[in-house]
Amino acid sequence: MSAEAVTTPHADLTEDDVRRIVKEEVASALRKDPGMRTGAIVASKGTLDWAYPPLILANAAAAVGMEVSVFFTFYGLNIVHKDFDKKLKVDPVGNPAMPMPVAMPDLVTAMPGMVSLASRMMKKRFSDHKVSSIGDLIDTAKEMEVRLIACQMTVDVFGYDQGDFLDGVEFGGAAAFMAHARKSNMTLFV
C-alpha cells in the first residue's frame, strides 16, 4: 500500500490546530456534561431555620439551569407536609447561635411558650428582611420544576400517609434518590 493511500482529508492541519480543536471539543463536552446540570439535595431537618437552606439552594440550582430533586427524609418531611407552617418551629434551647434580643439562660428559654415565641420572632425577622416565606420558596421550586420527593419509609414510620403532603410531592426510596444522586456533580445533605 502506498503512502498516498492513507492521507487524511485534513492532512494540512498543524499540531496547533489539532490542539485547539481538541481543547474546544473538550470544553464543549464539559459544558454538556449532564452531571453539571443535575443536583440532588437531602433535607433531613424539620425546624424552621433548617427548612430554608435546602429550599433556597434547590431554587438557586434550578435558576442556574440545573435539574434538581430534593429528598425529604426523617424530620425534613415537615417541610413538605400540608401543615408545614404550623410544624416548622425553632427552639432556642440548645441553640446558642440563635440571636436573642437579650441574653437568656436555657432555664428561661426552656419555659412553656418559648418555642412558639421564638418561631414567631424568626418568621418576623425574615419577613422584615423581605426573605421569602417557606411557602413562597416551595411554590417557586414547583414552578421551576424542582422535584420534591418524600421518603416513603419515614412517611410510614411517622404514621403519615401520602395525602398528608403538599400537591406535587412525589414519593420514593433511598435507591430512587441514589439513582438520581449518582448522576449529579452536586449532592448536598442538609
Partner 1 sequence: MSEITEDALVDARELMCPMPVMAATKAARRLEPGQILKIMATDKGALSDIPAWAESNGHELVEQSTEGTDFVFVVRTGEPD
Angstrom distance (rounded) from CA 28 to CA 50? 37
Q: Of 173, 132, 140, 154, nearest to 46 (Cα)?
A: 154
Instruction: Decide if residue 63 touches partner 1 (CB under 8 A).
Output: yes
Instruction: Decide if residue 65 touches partner 1 (CB under 8 A).
Output: yes
Quote the least distance from Cβ 32 to partner 1, whole Å.
7
- The footprint of partner 1 on this chain (CB under 8 A) covers a number of residues equal to 17
CA 149 distance to own-chain centroid: 11
Instruction: Decide if residue 60 touches partner 1 (CB under 8 A).
Output: yes
Of positions 117, 131, 157, 179, contacts partner 1 by CB under 8 A = 131
Angstrom distance (rounded) from CA 125 to CA 104? 18
Instruction: Decide if residue 62 touches partner 1 (CB under 8 A).
Output: yes
Instruction: Decide if residue 129 touches partner 1 (CB under 8 A).
Output: yes
CB nearer to partner 1: give 64 or 117.
Answer: 64
Of positions 95, 140, 154, 187, contacts partner 1 by CB under 8 A = 140
Quote the least distance from Cβ 106 to partner 1, whole Å.
31
Identity of the amino acid at 141: A
Identity of the amino acid at 80: V
Instruction: Decide if residue 64 touches partner 1 (CB under 8 A).
Output: yes
Please report, for the chain, how many H helices and E strands are present, in that order.
Answer: 9, 5
Q: Which 7-36 residues touch partner 1, going by CB under 8 A? A: 31-32
Identity of the amino acid at 67: E
Contact 57, 188 (CB under 8 A): yes
CB nearer to partner 1: give 10 or 32.
Answer: 32
Quote the least distance from Cβ 136 to partner 1, whole Å.
8
Contact 145, 124 (CB under 8 A): no
Choose the binding region for partner 1 from 13-21, 41-49, 124-132, 150-158 (rule: CB under 8 A). 124-132
Angstrom distance (rounded) from CA 75 to CA 150? 11
SS3 49: helix
Interface residue list for partner 1 (CB under 8 A): 31-32, 56, 59-60, 62-65, 129-132, 136, 140, 143-144
